Amino acid sequence: MTSSLRVGQKAPDFTATAVVDQEFKEISLSQYRGKYVVLFFYPLDFTFVCPTEITAFSDRYADFTSRNTEVLGVSVDSQFSHLAWIQTDRKQGGLGDIAYPLVADLKKEIARAYNVLDEEAGVALRGLFLIDPEGNVQHATINNLPVGRNVEETLRILQAFQHVQSNPDEVCPANWTPGERTMNPDPVKSKDFFAAVS
């Protein structure tokens, strides 16, 4: 892995074939400018932890789209493998219909650009990137292969970044959820927050 992608930097753009509503379509990351994007990588189709993540994001898709956010899943499989997995019933370990695009990264260029490719295994680690409407990476997390991600936490992080981007004089403390107190990032004004929560 040679990429030095960090939060605050531009997300690497890509154009690739995705399965969208059981059809093959060319999509680019740049076509989602003006929206937030949750871009997540998973190792392989027809595996075990992966379908639980993919279907969990699909089941909560409306919670993302209602917040001006698109979800994109990526693995190093082909679009044909993605389609076959989508056409397999959930009770059989498949995905069934899902609400967002699954991107094919057969040449592993996208995973490599996001520094999540395990070169030895030839698969992507469980990387997740929150990209803002200007195309900047605001959040990144990478799990090793055996542990899946938390969709609820992804939503919480999304809402926190949306809040601070709309309210530049505020920051979100640990465990913040919408409706809770934020703080002012100022040595004096921040004391209001600490006084209220102690």
Q: Which of 187, 50, 85, 72 is nearest to 131 (CA)?
A: 72
Who contacts 51 (Cβ-Cβ below 8 Å, separation ≥6)? 85, 90, 93, 94, 95
Question: How far apart, in Å, are the Cα atoms of 92 and each of 19, 59, 88, 189?
Answer: 20, 18, 7, 55
Q: Taking a C-beta distance cutoff of 8 angstroms, is the pair 60, 21 a contact? A: no
Asked about 172 being catalytic, the answer comes back as: no
Catalytic choice (16, 50, 83, 145): 50
Q: How far apart are the first and last CA of the chain?
A: 44
Query: Which residues are known to be catalytic?
Result: 50
